[in-house]
Amino acid sequence: MDIRPATVEDAERINALCETLGYPATLEETEARIERVMKRESDGILVAELCNMVVGFVTYHVVDVVHDGTPWGRISAIAVDENFRDMSIGKQLLENAEAQLKRNHCLRIEVTSHISREEAHGFYLHLGYRITPLRFIKLLAQRMLVAAS
């Protein structure tokens, strides 16, 4: 297996993986999003490729904050094809994203997971993340989200 930076050519598989998370989009929307993230020097998308097929991805971001002397890392998405979830691909993707964030001087990493994704919660806890129970969200515009169960 190879973990490498994503390219726009990976958009079709990334798009399919996002849909399994409940975030459907057109291929063109996903291509534009990949380009937007990859333009930022400190942010990125890594893909796991197995036999020339993308089987997972992780998106990471460096967030500069005024209240801390170092930036914070953020994992905004991680998905692995359900047919390959018993191969530690998610763990390897997350470790590679953590290494990238560490290179960008992040001393803490934040990841969020929908309350219904209990399997993902166990995954993060097993890898040393801890639960911080409060997060407040205000939608500034309405849009249709399809939650995967």
Domain assignment present for 135: no
Range of the domain at 37: 2-127
Any domain includes 137? no
Query: Is 144 a member of any domain?
Result: no
Provide mean pLDDT across the span 84-109: 94
pLDDT (average), residues 24-46: 96
Q: What is the rounded CA–CA span in Å between residue 72 and residue 93? A: 18
Q: Kindly state whether residue 134 falls inside one of the protein's structural domains.
A: no
Q: Say if residue 61's pLDDT is above 80.
A: yes
For 22, 23, 109, the CA distances from 17, given in Å and listed in that order, are 9, 9, 23
Q: State mean pLDDT over 11-27.
A: 95
pLDDT of res. 30:
97
CB 73 within 8 A of CB 106: yes
Residue 138 counted as domain residue: no
Q: What pLDDT, on the 0 to 100 scale, is given for residue 115? A: 77
CATH number, domain of 30, equals 3.40.630.30
Q: What percent of the chain has pLDDT over 90?
A: 69
Residue 142 lies in a domain: no
SS3 41: coil
48: nearest Cα among 87, 15, 1? 1
Domain contains 120: yes
How many domains does one find in the chain?
Answer: 1
Q: Is residue 14 part of a domain?
A: yes
Q: Does position 5 have pLDDT exceeding 60, yes or no?
A: yes
Q: Is residue 149 pLDDT above 50, yes or no?
A: no
pLDDT digits (tens, 9 = 90+) for 39-55: 999 999 999 999 999 99
